[in-house]
Amino acid sequence: MGVKFIRIGRLDEFNPPFTRKEIAETIARLIEKHGDGFVNKKTPEQIIKDPARYFLVLLIEFDDGAFKFLPLGCFAVNIVKQPCALLKSVVIRREYRGMGLGKKIIEIATKYALSQKPCIEAYVKPNNQRMLHILTKLGYKIAERNKKHIKLVMHKNTLIEEIMKHLQKLKI
């Protein structure tokens, strides 16, 4: 039995063993194959132009003296221009859904975004009940609703409140 771990990083943070182009191609393929209902699919060239925005979630296994790499998902966080950061393109491979990985990825993305900005927004299609459930469970609040999307927002103080509630449940 080998050693397994998950690595989350931006385009440049996997270099080596992978080039920026290889990581960008992997992210583009994940969005293409597993990004259910995504309208704005990205090309590797578009991803390379904005390397700070895109993150890859990679399962790394070391077994029998060799490394194996499996891309599990990806996400994007836009932290420029707007007053709030924007969570985008959260994708988990279909065969790894329902295991809590999406929730963990969104927690990590949210913490990162709120370290850069006072709030984070996410836009979700009304039929994406799984994503709506995860975001509201993590403390995101519905700010706007229309036929095309539901806008959810979390502010820094909301994250602190959610952490305190969790700690109280654990009696720490």
- State CA 64 to chain mean position distance: 31
* Three-class secondary structure of residue 47 per DSSP: helix
* pLDDT score for 38: 64
Q: What is the structure's pLDDT at 134?
A: 93
Q: Is the pTM of this model over 0.85?
A: no
Q: What is the pLDDT of residues 112-157, one digit of tens each?
A: 999 999 999 999 989 889 899 999 999 999 999 999 999 999 998 7
Structure tokens at 67: 């490394």
What tens digit of pLDDT does each residue of 65-83 get? 888 899 999 999 998 788 9
* Predicted pLDDT of residue 18: 86
Q: Is 153 exposed, middle or buried (0-12, 13-18, 19+ CB in 10 A)?
A: middle
Quick: pLDDT tens for 82-108.
899 999 889 999 999 889 998 999 999
- pLDDT tens digits, 29-44: 998 888 876 656 788 9
CATH number at residue 87: 3.40.630.30
Side-chain-facing half-sphere of 81: CA atoms under 13 Å? 4
Total domains present in the chain:
1
Give the domain range for residue 131. 3-170
For 36, residues 6+ apart whose C-beta sits below 8 A from its C-beta are: 128
CA distance 18 to 21: 8
**Which H helix or E strand runs over 21?**
helix 20-34
Residue 12's pLDDT band (cuts 50, 70, 90): confident
